[in-house]
Homo-oligomer: A and B are copies of this chain.
Amino acid sequence: MKEDRSGYTIWFDRGTPGIGYIDQTCIPGTYRVTMAYTPHELAGAIQVLAIRGAPALGVAGAYGVALAALCADAESIDSFLDTIKKDADMLRRTRPTAVNLSYGIDRVFGRIRQEKDVHLAKEAALAEADAVAREDEQMCRGIGETGNALIPNRCTILTHCNAGALACSTWGTALGVIRSAVAAGKEVSVYACETRPLLQGARLTAWELKEEKIPVTVITDSMAAMLMRKSMIDLVIVGADRITRDVVVNKIGTYMHAVCAKYHGIPFYVAAPLSTFDLTSSEIDITIEERDRDEIARWGGHITVPPDVSVYNPAFDPTPVQMITGIITEFGLLRLPDDWDRVTEQVSMADRIIRD
């Protein structure tokens, strides 16, 4: 039943039915494809970060609701919707900060609610989830095109965490820009920050770039500033988990890189799709997810922090939009707060398309 779709991180298997995904907790030690057969199994995979990355979570949310629909046993449309709503809420709670997860969930659940018949609703759910996945790929290619125009030939780029193919359905956002620049014939080398505590940069970004034969060197997060001072970094590109009118919320450490890039006069770009923008919130409304103590305090069988010492483990940090040189999107380069009207316009256009 397990099937590997080369180049893709997450996909839907209609036969089973189930959601196939590359288990990102195993890379770089092992490459393993796993299936989630229920929304609960999917929630578990999201919780342990076997599936992670903002756009991939959008696709996971969409396929998760489609899977909930296909698994639901209800006969009346009302009890059918009730069952799916419970699964959708359960999925949403796995990662409270990631707006894309909710985006994928809401897209498919919204589509289901337009149907009066359970069978038709199941078909519509799957079609909508497929559309989310397809759009994710188009979106990454679009971000790549926008970003490529900014990348000089023979440059060195710093990135943090993994905003690559593994964070999307394919291609990637920040790494999508690098892939597109390389595809356009440019020489690019990358410093990948390891990204504590879960090392997505060391494990995933390094693995992806190596597979693509793009030169990459891993450093600890704390080395980036020193490299900037030595003129070893030409620009910084990172992804985003949520963008509001005042801040970009991304993996913890992003703000530190933004401060250091500003201090050294180095351009700092964020690559993110439309679905990452949150029109209704500001920094003050956002709950920053705090993750488990043991992500920092243990490694394998060893303790790395004495047992009765506190640990603070926020998964993300907010960076004021004024500190960001530009946001690379599938509809062009944006500068915030000036271009916020363009964002609202694009989002309402996309909303109209979804409603039609």
Contacts of A313 in B (CB 8 A): 219-220
- Stretch of A118-126, A197-205, A270-278 that contacts chain B: A197-205
> Cβ of A306 and Cβ of B256 under 8 Å apart?
no
User: Does residue A332 face the partner (Cβ distance < 8 Å to B)?
Assistant: no
User: Does residue A150 face the partner (Cβ distance < 8 Å to B)?
Assistant: no
Given A225-B255, A314-B226, are A305 and B29 neighbors across the interface (CB < 8 Å)? no
Which of A253, A263, A309, A310 has most chain B Cβ within 10 Å?
Answer: A309
> Cβ of B300 and Cβ of A299 under 8 Å apart?
yes
> Cβ of B222 and Cβ of A305 under 8 Å apart?
no
> Cβ of B226 and Cβ of A256 under 8 Å apart?
yes
User: Does residue A182 face the partner (Cβ distance < 8 Å to B)?
Assistant: no
> Cβ of A256 and Cβ of B194 under 8 Å apart?
no
Closest chain B residue, CB of each to CB of A260:
B259
User: Does residue A317 face the partner (Cβ distance < 8 Å to B)?
Assistant: yes
User: Does residue A301 face the partner (Cβ distance < 8 Å to B)?
Assistant: yes
* Interface 1/0 per residue, A196-228 and B, CB below 8 Å: 110100110011011000011111111111100
Cβ distance A58 to chain B, nearest Cβ, rounded Å: 25
As for how many copies of this chain the complex holds, the number is 2
User: Does residue A303 face the partner (Cβ distance < 8 Å to B)?
Assistant: yes
* Interface 1/0 per residue, A291-320 and B, CB below 8 Å: 000001101111111111111111001100
CB proximity to B under 8 Å, residues A43-100:
none
> Cβ of A216 and Cβ of B256 under 8 Å apart?
no
> Cβ of B222 and Cβ of A222 under 8 Å apart?
yes
Excluding A28-B304, A218-B297, A219-B313, 7 further A-B contacts by CB distance (< 8 Å) are A206-B306, A216-B309, A222-B222, A222-B253, A225-B255, A299-B300, A300-B300
> Cβ of B259 and Cβ of A220 under 8 Å apart?
no
Contacts of A300 in B (CB 8 A): 299-302
User: Does residue A40 face the partner (Cβ distance < 8 Å to B)?
Assistant: no
**Taking beta carbons and an 8 Å cutoff, which residues of A are in contact with B?**
28-29, 191, 193-197, 199, 202-203, 206-207, 209-210, 215-226, 229, 252-253, 255-256, 259-260, 262-263, 296-297, 299-314, 317-318
A317-B224 Cα distance, complex, nearest whole Å: 11
A306-B305 Cα distance, complex, nearest whole Å: 26
> Cβ of A260 and Cβ of B253 under 8 Å apart?
no
Cβ distance A241 to chain B, nearest Cβ, rounded Å: 14
> Cβ of A311 and Cβ of B210 under 8 Å apart?
no
Contacts of A220 in B (CB 8 A): 196-197, 221, 252-253, 296, 313
> Cβ of A296 and Cβ of B202 under 8 Å apart?
yes
Contacts of A306 in B (CB 8 A): 28, 206-207, 210
Contacts of A311 in B (CB 8 A): 217-219
Closest chain B residue, CB of each to CB of A209:
B309
24 A–B contact pairs at CB < 8 A?
A: A28-B303, A191-B312, A193-B222, A194-B296, A199-B304, A202-B305, A207-B309, A209-B309, A216-B310, A217-B310, A218-B296, A218-B309, A219-B313, A220-B221, A220-B252, A220-B296, A222-B222, A222-B253, A223-B314, A223-B317, A225-B255, A225-B259, A226-B252, A262-B263
